[in-house]
A and B are shown apart, each in its own frame.
Chain A
Amino acid sequence: MKKLNPTIKFFIVLVISAFIGGLLGGSIIHGEDAIIQSLINFQNFMINNNLLIQSSVFGLCALIILILYISANLKLKHLDENDDLLFDQIDHQLGFLIPFISVTMIFGFCLFGVTVTNSMEDFKLLGLIIFLVNMAFTLIMTILSIKLTKVLYPDKKGNPLDFNFDKEWLKSCDEAEKFVIYKASYRCYQLMNFVYCGVVTLCLLISIAVNIGIFPYLLIGFLWITQTLVYSIAANRFQHGQLDNVQ
Chain B
Amino acid sequence: MGLENRLKEYRARDNLNQSDLGKLVGASRQTISLIERGDYSPSVILALKIAKIFGTTVEELFLYEEE
Residue of B18, B28, B33 touching A174 (CB-CB under 8 A) = B28
B28:A153 contact, CB within 8 angstroms: yes
B18:A84 contact, CB within 8 angstroms: yes
Report if B31 contacts A (CB, 8 A).
yes
For residues 35 through 92 of chain A, which have their beta carbon under 8 Å from a beta carbon of chain B? 81-82, 84, 87, 91
B43:A175 contact, CB within 8 angstroms: yes
For residues 156 through 214 of chain A, which have their beta carbon under 8 Å from a beta carbon of chain B? 174-177, 179
In this complex, what residue of A is CB-closest to B39?
A176
Report if B35 contacts A (CB, 8 A).
yes
For residues 23 through 37 of chain B, which have their beta carbon under 8 Å from a beta carbon of chain A? 26-31, 33-35
A177:B17 contact, CB within 8 angstroms: no
For residues 7 through 60 of chain B, which have their beta carbon under 8 Å from a beta carbon of chain A? 17-19, 26-31, 33-35, 40, 42-43, 45-46
B29:A87 contact, CB within 8 angstroms: yes
Residue of A81, A82, A177, A247 touching B30 (CB-CB under 8 A) = A177
In this complex, what residue of A is CB-closest to B18?
A84
Name the distance in Å between B36's Cβ and chain A's nearest Cβ: 11
B interface SS class: helix
- List residues of chain A with CB within 8 A of the CB of B42: 175-176
In this complex, what residue of A is CB-closest to B46?
A175
What is the size, in residues, of chain B's interface with A at 8 Å between Cβ atoms?
17
B28:A155 contact, CB within 8 angstroms: yes
Bin chain A's interface residue count: 10 to 19
In whole angstroms, what is the CA distance A247 to B30 when docked? 20
A174:B19 contact, CB within 8 angstroms: no
In this complex, what residue of A is CB-closest to B19?
A81
- List residues of chain B with CB within 8 A of the CB of A179: 40
Residue of A87, A155, A176 touching B35 (CB-CB under 8 A) = A176
- List residues of chain B with CB within 8 A of the CB of A87: 29
In whole angstroms, what is the CA distance A213 to B29 when docked? 53
A176:B30 contact, CB within 8 angstroms: yes
> Which of A87, A175, A177 counts the most chain B CB atoms within 10 A?
A175
In whole angstroms, what is the CA distance A224 to B46 when docked? 38
- List residues of chain B with CB within 8 A of the CB of A247: 43, 45
Kindly list 16 other residue pairs between chains A and B, CB separation below 8 angstroms, not including A175-B43, A177-B31, A247-B43: A82-B17, A84-B17, A84-B18, A84-B33, A87-B29, A91-B30, A155-B28, A174-B31, A176-B28, A176-B34, A176-B35, A176-B42, A177-B28, A177-B30, A179-B40, A247-B45
Chain B residues close to A by CB (< 8 Å): 17-19, 26-31, 33-35, 40, 42-43, 45-46
Chain A residues close to B by CB (< 8 Å): 81-82, 84, 87, 91, 153, 155, 174-177, 179, 247
Contact sample, A vs B, 14 pairs, CB 8 Å cutoff: A81-B17, A81-B19, A91-B30, A155-B26, A174-B26, A175-B27, A175-B31, A176-B27, A176-B30, A176-B31, A176-B40, A176-B42, A247-B43, A247-B45
Q: Considering the complex of A and B, which 4 residue pairs feature the smallest CB-CB distances, nearest first?
A: A176-B31, A174-B27, A176-B40, A247-B45
